[in-house]
Structure 1
Amino acid sequence: MEIFRNKKTFTDYIERQKEMGKRIGFAPTMGALHQGHLSLYEAAQKENDLVISSIFVNPTQFNNPDDLEKYPHDTNRDLKLLENTGIVNAVYLPEVADLYPAGLKSKAYNFDGLENEMEGKSRPGHFDGVGTVVEELLRQVKPDNAYFGEKDFQQLAIIEKLVQQLKLPVKIHGVEIYREDNGLAMSSRNERLNAVQRDAGKVIHETLVKVNDWFRIITIAEINKRVKDIFDDQRGMTLEYFEIADEQTLKQTDFFYKDKNYRAFIVVNVGEVRLIDNMHLD
């Protein structure tokens, strides 16, 4: 596994691989890697000649400086984990200047309103930060395929919109949420939960499963009430929001239309840890 800490060296490597006709699969990360990230590389390995990872903690997508400060950093651990997979061929560790050559400021994007729903309501500018880094990484890595987890479904939809608007020559793939044994969506933030909180967190996925059972049987208003009641009964947990939204527009709906696909989105604060999850509704 090759490790690149210099933009020029890395882009030269990419050019050589392209000249040899290698098909490149890419999964960018912010480190603190876990099995959910590894599932992205496993998906990439099936469709590509080379699998490339990047690790970069993007400052502009953190609205709260405390979240940035608390975000786990252990690059040596991450590199060892990637090495042990035997899947990843190269890792890119860019500096801030490599992705923000004009200074640490996000570009301004219009994602046709996707950025204003759910996470966008409480995190202004967050998706501009995501878009800025992802666009620059895609331009430098030049992958044929790029892989993102469905846990951050809104981010996935925005990246698909970004690629479409900028006509970037890459296919975006969503990879199914990787879950812990109790159903909790695997996340770097889970490391901040104690054992009791981690076990209690299973109620988030259990609730989504119930929502899928209730879907099209009872009204959305009744589903919303039942979800609120579930979390009102949980100690040490606060329901930040629950929405059922159109998968294409991400707009919240209060009625089911047969020709549309819907997904349930939930954010729960467990102690001081903010956990997100979602589920496609059958």
Structure 2
Amino acid sequence: MLTLHAIPALRERLAAHRRAGRTIGLVPTMGNLHDGHLALVAEARRRADVVVATIFVNPMQFGPGEDLDAYPRTLAEDQARLEAAGCDLLFAPDEATVYPRGLAAQTRVSVPDVAEGLCGGARPGHFDGVATIVTMLFNLVQPDVACFGEKDYQQLAVIRRLVADLHLPVAVVGVPIVRAADGLALSSRNGYLSDAQRAVAPRLHQTLVELSQALEAGEAPAAALATGLARLREAGFAPDYLELRAADLSPVVETTREAVLLVAARLGPTRLIDNLSLTLPR
């Protein structure tokens, strides 16, 4: 696996692949990789001739008081995992390469509607940062396909809207959530949990499963969500939100059938997110 840090070298290498008629798959990450990231690499490997991963801890998507400085940087370990997973090229730029004029002077991409509420409400400006860096990576890599995890459900919706609205020639693929044996969605931030918190953390997914069963059995959404919030608080979580949305993140209406439960909650200082799709009864 080749690791590049500079934009001209990246463009030169990828231009050669395109001249040879090879398709390119992109896996954007912030590093500190786990098996969920490697599932994205595997999916890209199935869909493209050349797999490009990126590692960049994007300061634009972190808000004041968030964990930008504490976010683990584990480049050597990540390189080894990517190479073992069959990645062909890693692009790992520094902040000065990505934002040479600094964040304040940087052009930004903003996606309306779908980026509002949920994590967009709890983390103002977060999805502007996501949309900007993803647009930049799509421009730099010019992939045929890009793979993103379904754990970040709203992020995936934002990226799909971005691609549709800007008519970008990229197939966006959502890859199912990879979970630990006890149901906890894999996340780089799980490493922040203490042993005691890690024992509690699976309750997040378990609560979604219980709510899904109740809703599919016909329980009123307001009552089910209230019960879910109470269970999370009893378990020790501090919820940011627990919502039921249509699968496209629009509000649930009487005719909605395909829906999704979405949750974000803090366990100590660690913010965890999860989601679960379900079919509402007629």
Q: Smaller-chain TM-score range?
A: over 0.9
For residues 132 and 265 of structure 2, the distance between their equivalents in structure 1, rounded to whole angstroms, comes to 27
For residues 76 and 229 of structure 2, the distance between their equivalents in structure 1, rounded to whole angstroms, comes to 42
Q: Who is 1:156 aligned against?
A: 156
Q: Who is 2:223 aligned against?
A: 222
| Deviation digits for residues 137-170 of structure 1 (CA, Å, limit 9, x no counterpart) | 0111111000000011101000111111111111
The answer as to whether partners of 2:27 and 2:40 remain within 8 angstroms in 1 is yes
Q: Who is 1:10 aligned against?
A: 10
Q: Who is 1:234 aligned against?
A: 235
Shift of 1:98: 3.1
More off after superposition, 262-271 vs 99-108: 99-108
The answer as to whether partners of 2:110 and 2:131 remain within 8 angstroms in 1 is no
More off after superposition, 95-104 vs 210-219: 95-104
Q: Who is 1:257 aligned against?
A: 255
The code of the aligned residue for 2:103 comes to L
Shift of 1:108: 4.1
For residues 89 and 171 of structure 2, the distance between their equivalents in structure 1, rounded to whole angstroms, comes to 20
More off after superposition, 261-270 vs 143-152: 261-270
1:184 to 1:163, Cα distance in 2 relative to 1, 3 A: same
Q: Does 1:45 align with 2:45?
A: yes
Runs of 5+ unmatched residues, structure 1:
none
Q: Who is 1:270 aligned against?
A: 267
For residues 275 and 80 of structure 1, the distance between their equivalents in structure 2, rounded to whole angstroms, comes to 27
The code of the aligned residue for 1:272 comes to P
For residues 123 and 19 of structure 2, the distance between their equivalents in structure 1, rounded to whole angstroms, comes to 41
| Deviation digits for residues 120-143 of structure 1 (CA, Å, limit 9, x no counterpart) | 112221111111110010111111
Q: Who is 1:122 aligned against?
A: 122
Shift of 1:97: 3.4
Secondary structure, aligned partner of 1:244: strand
Aligned residue runs from structure 1 range 33-112, under 5 A? 33-85=33-85, 87-105=86-104, 106-112=106-112
For residues 15 and 92 of structure 1, the distance between their equivalents in structure 2, rounded to whole angstroms, comes to 15
The answer as to whether partners of 1:263 and 1:281 remain within 8 angstroms in 2 is yes
Runs of 4+ in 1 over 3 A off after TM superposition: 105-110
For residues 12 and 206 of structure 2, the distance between their equivalents in structure 1, rounded to whole angstroms, comes to 48
For residues 256 and 3 of structure 1, the distance between their equivalents in structure 2, rounded to whole angstroms, comes to 51
For residues 96 and 17 of structure 2, the distance between their equivalents in structure 1, rounded to whole angstroms, comes to 24
- The number of equivalent residue pairs is 277
Shift of 1:256: 4.2
For residues 35 and 265 of structure 1, the distance between their equivalents in structure 2, rounded to whole angstroms, comes to 22
For residues 30 and 57 of structure 1, the distance between their equivalents in structure 2, rounded to whole angstroms, comes to 5
Percent identical residues? 35
For residues 280 and 19 of structure 1, the distance between their equivalents in structure 2, rounded to whole angstroms, comes to 41
For residues 114 and 108 of structure 2, the distance between their equivalents in structure 1, rounded to whole angstroms, comes to 14
Shift of 1:62: 0.3
1:245 to 1:163, Cα distance in 2 relative to 1, 3 A: same
Q: Who is 1:175 aligned against?
A: 175
The answer as to whether partners of 1:96 and 1:104 remain within 8 angstroms in 2 is no
The code of the aligned residue for 1:233 comes to E
| Deviation digits for residues 39-68 of structure 1 (CA, Å, limit 9, x no counterpart) | 001111111111110000000100134411
When normalised by structure 2's length, the TM-score is: 0.93
Shift of 1:2: 0.5
